[in-house]
Structure 1
């Protein structure tokens, strides 16, 4: 499409509107402040406005769009806070606010979205901690919080998300150790927590994540030996542990990883050696070990 201009407030008069997709246009200005007030847009289930030039604050009246299931405002210029009223849209299955200028904290009311499967708040300016109420969002499959300024610990309540497949919280200011409960999320396919200030050792219990395909814990403050269990995880395609202070010898079990395609262990204090024949047997196209 090639639409430009702003979204008129009269759009709220379309009482039979079910889906509104104005993505990939040149729309500017803000969302009408009274977009769903007083039961306007009572049938609206999808609001998709990605890749525009929309700005201003996300109106709190969106919380009155009770039938909304998909809300995608990604790749715009929205500022201000994530309104706590979003927690009232309990039918939401997808919330995508990625790549805006949102600041402030993630409201704890987000935990009321028990049907939410996809949440992307990445590439904003969010700060504060990840609310423990995220653990109430038991339908979550993808949780993307990357490229913000989030701090504090990873809440142990995330360990109760038994459908979670992807967790991205890289490029933040998170600290503390990985909670033991994380290793109970056996549905995880991707765990990306690089470039934080996380510390502690890697538990042998990581081996419980037998579906894990991608692990990126690089650029943190992790230490201690690498557990042998990680090298028995035959579904792993990528391991990135660079720039920590892991120590000790590489386990011989590394030769078991037939699916491995990316292995980065450089800038640690690891010892020992890995033979060329082992690398060839695993068919690793990209590796950087630097023992």
Structure 2
């Protein structure tokens, strides 16, 4: 289940400015942890120069896509420390962190407050639950998130609302501080071949999928909702909205280009629609709701 959901009336799916939920430009470097960022440019031979940045790393049991909203309920101390640091970001600069799906580990440490596990050894520190080499616990590609809202509650926990902005490849992971940070390589979104035509086919398949899913759940489906037509936005919206497991969503996030992602989605939507048609009583997850991550 995706950790994000489409932002109603906000973000690129509704024609708002690209960037975070409040329209801020995610392009400037986040100077938060003495991070650095190389300018995106072309070398003398026309080769793309690699763009890197070091940001706080927030592992989750779900996949965040660019343009999707991510609500978080932050209560673990390592992530509280991260949010306190984000609040120090100068006005006008995006409060950025990277979200990565967990391959092998625990989103919430077994010893976290409120989640006692009598059989677990106490785990402390920024890498708790991720083993001695946390980089191996995560998938290779994640997504930068821009936190439009970071609100501290009376008990010290945080309510956070962020929006995915840019895909990144996870490099080295640093566990020496109060929370994890990672060296990240920003991944450009290349269109690929025939992305426009593929997007049209995916939208048709997605509407059919929605109708079948609504029928299986014995509920009505609004047909006047506007869907985007920009191929990359279509690919991310469908990847987030479809009922797929985390490895499949991760595969879609890591697709080499928009066209490849759309081709994969077209195949998946046709398969899922056929399954729903043959098993109308199959219990499915509500597309209109997604859980708030506990961390």
For Structure 1 versus Structure 2, the TM-score category normalised by the shorter chain is: under 0.3
Instruction: Provide the TM-score with structure 1 as the length reference.
Output: 0.23
Structure with greater strand share of residues:
1
Structure with greater helix share of residues:
2
Instruction: Provide the TM-score with structure 2 as the length reference.
Output: 0.23
Q: Answer with 1 or 2: which has the greater Rg.
A: 1
